[in-house]
Amino acid sequence: MTSSSPSSIDRIISLRNKIRQNVSKVYANKIQCERLCERIDQLIDPLERLEYASSSILRNETRLILDKLLQCIDDCNVYIEKLKSSNEWYEEIYEYKKSEEKFHELNQRLSQLGQDLSLGLNIQQLFNQKQDQEDQREDLKELNKKLDEISQKMLEKQCEQYKFIDKMIDKRFQSFRYSLEQNLLMQQNSYQSQYLHREHQQFLHIPYKDLYIEDKSLGHGGFADVYKAIWLTHHDQVAVKIIRINHLSNVRDDFLREISTMYRIRYENVLTVLGACIEPNFYAIIVEYMPLGSLYDILHKKHEEEISFDWSDRYSLAWQMSKSINYLHSLSPTILHRDIKSMNFLLKYNGSPNQKYLVKVCDFGLAEIRRETFLQSSLFPTSQTVGSFYWKAPELLLPHSRHTKQSDIYSLGIVFWELGTERIPWDEYDDESIILIQVKLGKRPSIPLNIPEEYKQVIQDAWNHDPQQRPSCFQLMERLFQELSQMTILNNQEDIVDLHAQQITADENNSSHSTIDTDSTRTSIQVAEKPNEEQKLINSFRNIIISVLETANEDDQIESESTLKPSISSPSLIDNEQQNETFPTQSEPTLSKSYEDLTSSSNITNNFANQPIIPLYRIEKRRPLHRKYIDN
């Protein structure tokens, strides 16, 4: 036998001895480690007899299996050493499912190698899965006694990793403890563990320990306080909406369902819900961070950065808001927002010249959360938030009323008014009871004269007193997009004109700054100017031909005559037609001429200036001049 095979067996035996020593010093999962060591012993005992076998008996296939067994036992030793290390064991245990999977993997590999070696052992009995489950339950009992110890070590490690974490230490400790407790509970085969599995599949659960929440709040809503935070394990800036409730009581299922619905929605103009934190005495929704804050803060100068909107921006914002609500209304089942107001539209820069800002709607589909917050807390101070009834539809002020798509449209109309005027709705009244009376009577905030007529009509249609007369969100979206498109075209044309004017000014400045007056210089300038003038005439002539041809082709579908009949409303054209019929000796350009002939300098300066346009028109009626002749 070669020296390599006995060497492999020697190394296997040496590793087995190390594992025996390490198992007695592990901090957790001691029973499962001992079971693993026992199975390794059972596999190695028959191998020791191979140490004295001759090389003719040991096949190459066996040597390969022994090498794999050596690697597997080495992996077992590495993992057991982690559980023995005072600096690592608690991290391996904290995510207990990973530990469970690791033991399962090592046992599977040992079992397969035992079969491959054909050692005469009862592999199925040796690797008994029921025994593994029993060992796991015993280890879990021991771990539950060490919850505080593991949580404290995890907290110390996080504080060492993130030096800036120096607040809410007790809450972070409780978060570590709660997360570990949930992880251990989910490994047990019980009804509660099955319930937790279903709950964790609904949305991403982000523990409090994984968030660094800043002290200064971003704002206060009707049911939550919003803070900027760092998602530590992702290095992302997020916003945390801390809900003002102390316990979920009997609405836990409704609460989870609403968050799950929000979590599944992914749309450009809907705020992305990244997950939620549900821990004892702490309930929060984690969403993407929108740097510019709410539309309300921008319009009413509560944002640190001074931002002003032109009408192109306003149409873009209104269109995006319509898109967001239209998306919610088009879902199956339909999602009604129920609380549309300028505070619930968040902005960030978009970077596109035609759409400088990106708008996202938030706080939709949270009826149960709002209701529970209202029951568990007193009314929020009016100095920090504006009552939602300013945006509420008149039919919702009646007893036994229900939210509908139409009531959302009304609220959207109020936001459109707010966007156009940059005023708080009903700011002319101090008494809220007067505002309620005005709304019930069909009165609306006054629309200033400087509001564009089409935008004004959109507002008035949206807040119509009769819900059935209000347009759908899709109709609003279409109308706003049409106006936005026209405005974009006009802005682009103005930009082109401005660029052209700047170029002309620059050319004039260059000419005025020329001080050389030699003959050669003057000649070069004249040569440079002449092609420019000719090119302008060529382009002009070309555009006229194209325009005339397009009109002629349209008339061709209606008229069948071979010559053009001039319009009665154009006396000049009649005169030209009569002139051409009266003087037949006057020559007309023929189609045999190339485009270069037609647009040569002499033809342009003489023929184009003297010849009327109507003869060209008549020629094209007899034989259309295609664009390809022109373009070439």
Binding-site residues for ATP sit at: 241
Give the whole-angstrom CA distance, residue 409 versus residue 461: 9
Quick one: which H or E segment has residue 177? helix 169-186
Q: Is 215 exposed, middle or buried (0-12, 13-18, 19+ CB in 10 A)?
A: exposed
CB burial string 418-436: b at 16+ within 10 A, e below: bbbbeeebbeeeeeeeebb
Q: Evaluate whether 262 touches 184 at the Cβ level (below 8 Å).
A: no
Give the whole-angstrom CA distance, residue 431 versus residue 200: 47
- Look at the alpha carbons of 475, 480, 483, 485 in this order and tell me if their dihedral is positive or negative: negative
- Look at the alpha carbons of 267, 287, 420, 410 in this order and tell me if their dihedral is positive or negative: positive
Nearest residue to 391 via CA among 344, 427, 339? 339
For residue 539, give both structure tokens. Answer: 């382009």
Quick one: which H or E segment has residue 140? helix 129-144
Residues annotated in the binding site, as ranges?
241
**605, amino acid identity:** T
Nearest residue to 320 via CA among 364, 272, 267, 358? 358
Radius of gyration, CA atoms only, the chain: 40
582: phi > 0 → left, psi -120 to 50 → alpha, else beta; which? alpha
Which residue blocks in 331-366 are alpha helix, DSSP H? none
List CB contacts of 5: < 8 A, sequence separation 6 or more.
50, 55, 58, 62, 63, 66
End-to-end CA distance of the chain: 88
CA dist list (Å): 619 to 579, 590, 614: 16, 8, 9
List CB contacts of 42: < 8 A, sequence separation 6 or more.
121, 126
User: What one-character-per-residue DSSP string does 504-546 give?
Assistant: HHHHHHHHHT-----HHHHHHHHHHHHHHHHHHHHHHHHHHHH
Peptide bond preceding 207 in cis form (omega within 30 of 0): no
CA 178, distance to chain mean position in Å, is 31
Give the whole-angstrom CA distance, residue 338 versus residue 403: 6
CA dist list (Å): 463 to 209, 412, 445, 471: 46, 8, 10, 9
Give the whole-angstrom CA distance, residue 431 versus residue 150: 57
365: phi > 0 → left, psi -120 to 50 → alpha, else beta; which? left
Give the whole-angstrom CA distance, residue 501 versus residue 381: 56
